[in-house]
A = this chain, B = another copy of it.
Amino acid sequence: MKPSTSIQDYLKRIYELTENGLPASTNDLARELNVRPASVTGMIQKLAAEKPALVEYQKHQGVTLTSAGKRAALEVIRHHRLLEAWLVQTLGYSWDEVHEEAERLEHVISEDFERRIAAALGNPTRDPHGELIPTADLKMPVDDTTPLSSLRASQSATIQRVVAADPNLLRHLDSLGLTPGIQIEVIEYSEFDNNLTVKVGRKVNVLGLNITTKIFVEIQK
């Protein structure tokens, strides 16, 4: 049986919160899902009791996904990211507008729809923010990008991924030309405030940690 929309949301958030290898806490999940902690406890107990179990759960120890749970989560994430790519490409959405729409659509599209948009887009590997799209057989590719914050003067790189949800920040980055696929070069590093002076096209900007830790790049050899 296909999990309910609520369950899909729980699994997706648990996936995201456990990407660091640690179990997800009740509180963090509650915050991400805009739900009270007590509701989270109830739901994860239910998910742990499903057959097959979707999560691994020990009281007070947080929650992780089982392989069945991870598969279900990746399915939703694949839907979400393909939808974002597709909304941007075919309907002219900007990257700060797509999230909300994809958030609702991801739960209702058919596998046929998924295949059609994936094919129409040429089976893309990243969404408009540069996030990796799980493959059709539900494996998450490994991301080998580097945070911009770790680059130093004279290094060149291509922006691969921008990790930000706030539409205002996204619009700001867009206005600076800091979007996936763009080439940049680090002009200067300040060890005092960790600012990076970065050349983007013909413009030069000074970026703080707040931004440079959210941009992931592939360094030019």
**CB 8 Å contact bits of A105-125 with B (1 = contact, 0 = none):** 101111011001100100000
Counted per complex, copies of this chain come to: 2
Instruction: Kindly state whether residue A1 has any CB partner on chain B within 8 Å.
Output: no
Instruction: Kindly state whether residue A104 has any CB partner on chain B within 8 Å.
Output: yes
B116 near A108: Cβ-Cβ < 8 Å: no
Instruction: Kindly state whether residue A42 has any CB partner on chain B within 8 Å.
Output: no
A101 near B91: Cβ-Cβ < 8 Å: no
Residues of B within 8 A of A109 (CB): 101, 104-105
B104 near A116: Cβ-Cβ < 8 Å: no
Interface residues on A, range: 10 to 19
A: residues with CB less than 8 A from B are 90-93, 97, 100-101, 104-105, 107-110, 112-113, 116-117, 120
Minimum CB distance partner of A106 in chain B: B108
The 8 Å CB contact of A91, one of B93, B97, B107, B120, is: B120
Expressed in whole angstroms, the minimum distance between the Cβ of A11 and any Cβ of chain B is 19
